[in-house]
């Protein structure tokens, strides 16, 4: 392919003149940053290799440790954080965990061996109240900047960013109460995890304030944060007469819908289901899922900006930064059946 043809293709893709493309490729001045970025994007889209002089040198390496990727919310976090890091000039090193695979501690040692400038943890062992916090104190003793998402450890010299799990439960309960439901249950994962325990606390408060229910125990079923776990927990709640179920994750909500259908119940005609996260594709389930949207975009942006500030020597606040969730009403919730 001739240089002229390549210039024309790039100009058409970027929406600029061939002369502008030529100036960008030759590293000349007189081109706005936005136009320059458009031409570079055109190079990438059309599969052309960037000239050596235009290849951005990485500002450094930042580790990103996330749980298994079967729950869509974690790939969403990974994508948002990696994109923001790359935009800032850093190279993200993604470490994903799976049962029986590489552990968080093993990943951290690997990242340290690579000389990372910092590590961002998403729903890691910092969220497990039964796990030791020594690993994180060790990182800080090595002066490695860390940012911890969705989990909190008091007394740790680090930045914490979390969704307001407790507040999210009031959004769900208030919505269901407005639909006439009074038998509302919570299907949740193991309560040793900070987000789960906070959801239970928020749910108990919402039942007390909205329905005058003081004992939350008959209305909470604990299982695993998975489709199968949701099916098991929801089965308990359905068998005890609940007409609405709030779930600790979207995956659990999909399991709750399966549990309802296995009993010949229709969603939402016979039972309403609310998820949590608003993972990608939840608008396209059957029925489209009413859910609590976690502010993944804003939380990811805050995590990256905090990390960059820490690397730059600016110590951020050590109090937990909480992000308010949003109720997304779709078709898995409806008015309480008259027979209930």
Nearest to 256 by CA among 278, 239, 279: 239
Contact 204, 214 (CB under 8 A): no
Condensed to tens digits (0 to 9), the pLDDT of residues 228-271 reads: 999 999 999 999 999 999 999 999 999 999 999 999 999 999 99
Are 157 and 141 in the same domain? yes
224 and 300, same domain (yes or no): yes
Its pTM stands at 0.83
Of the candidates 127, 78, 81, 71, the one whose C-alpha atom is nearest the C-alpha of residue 104 is 127
Q: Which domain holds residue 171?
A: 58-340
Asked whether residue 11 falls in the same domain as residue 91, the answer is no
Element (H, E) at 238: helix 227-239
- Whether 245 and 103 map to the same domain: the answer is yes
Which is higher by pLDDT, 340 or 98? Answer: 98
Element (H, E) at 159: strand 159-163
Q: Are residues 189 and 250 in the same domain?
A: yes
Helix axes 134-141, 104-113, angle to 10 degrees: 10
Rounded to an integer, the average pLDDT of 310-337 is: 93
Q: What percent of the chain has pLDDT over 70?
A: 96
CA gap 149, 168 in Å, rounded:
17
Same-domain check for residues 25 and 120: no
Q: For residue 200, what pLDDT band results from cuts at 50, 70 and 90?
A: very high
Same domain as 194, residue 250: yes
Give tens-digit pLDDT for 127-142.
999 999 999 999 999 9
For residue 23, name the pLDDT band (cuts at 50, 70, 90): confident
- Is the same domain home to 264 and 291? yes
Maximum CA extent, the chain: 77
Tokens 């680090």 belong to which residue? 158
Of 54, 72, 95, the one marking the end of a domain is: 54
**Can you give the pLDDT at residue 214?**
97
On the question of pLDDT at 22 being above 90, the answer is: no
Same domain for 31 and 160: no
Number of structural domains found in the chain? 2
Rounded average pLDDT over 183-197: 97
Give helix then strand counts, H and E, for the chain.
11, 12
Confidence of residue 84 (pLDDT cuts 50, 70, 90): very high
How confident is the model over 79-91, as a mean pLDDT? 91
Task: Report pLDDT for 340.
Answer: 65
| Per-residue model confidence as pLDDT tens digits over 130-186 | 999 999 999 999 999 999 999 999 999 999 999 999 999 999 999 999 999 999 999
* pLDDT-based confidence at residue 119 (cuts at 50, 70, 90): very high
What CATH code is carried by the domain that includes residue 150? 3.40.50.2300
Domain co-membership, 191 together with 69: yes
């Amino acid at each position: 392919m001739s240089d002229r043809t390549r210039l024309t293709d790039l100009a058409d893709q970027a929406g600029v003149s061939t002369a502008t493309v030529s100036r960008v490729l030759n590293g000349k001045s007189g081109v706005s940053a936005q136009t320059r970025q458009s031409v570079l994007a055109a190079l990438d889209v059309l599969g052309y290799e960037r000239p050596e002089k235009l290849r951005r040198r990485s500002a450094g390496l930042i580790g990103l440790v996330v749980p298994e990727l079967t729950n869509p919310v974690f790939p969403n976090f990974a994508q948002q954080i990696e994109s923001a890091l790359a935009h800032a000039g850093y190279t993200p090193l993604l470490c994903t965990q799976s049962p029986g695979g590489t552990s968080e501690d093993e990943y951290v040692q690997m990242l340290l061996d690579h000389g990372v400038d910092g590590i961002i943890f998403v729903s890691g062992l910092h969220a497990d109240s039964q796990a030791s916090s020594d690993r994180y104190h060790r990182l800080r003793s090595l002066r490695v900047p860390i940012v911890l998402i969705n989990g909190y450890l008091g007394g740790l010299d680090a930045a914490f960013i979390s969704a307001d799990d407790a507040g999210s439960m009031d959004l769900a309960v208030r919505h269901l109460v407005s639909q006439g439901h009074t038998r509302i249950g919570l299907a949740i994962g193991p309560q040793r995890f900070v987000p789960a325990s906070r959801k239970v606390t928020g749910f108990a408060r919402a039942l007390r304030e909205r329905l005058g229910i003081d004992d939350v125990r008959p209305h909470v079923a604990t299982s695993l944060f998975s489709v199968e776990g949701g099916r098991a927990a929801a089965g308990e709640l359905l068998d005890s007469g609940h007409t609405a179920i709030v779930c600790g994750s979207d995956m659990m909500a999909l399991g709750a819908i399966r549990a309802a259908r296995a009993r010949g119940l229709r969603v939402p005609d016979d039972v309403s289901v609310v998820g949590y996260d608003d993972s990608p594709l939840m608008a396209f389930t059957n029925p489209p899922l009413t859910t609590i949207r976690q502010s993944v975009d804003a939380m990811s942006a805050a995590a990256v900006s905090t990390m960059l500030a820490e690397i730059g020597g600016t110590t951020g606040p050590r109090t937990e930064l909480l992000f308010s969730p949003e109720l997304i009403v779709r078709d898995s919730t409806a008015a309480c059946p008259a027979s209930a």
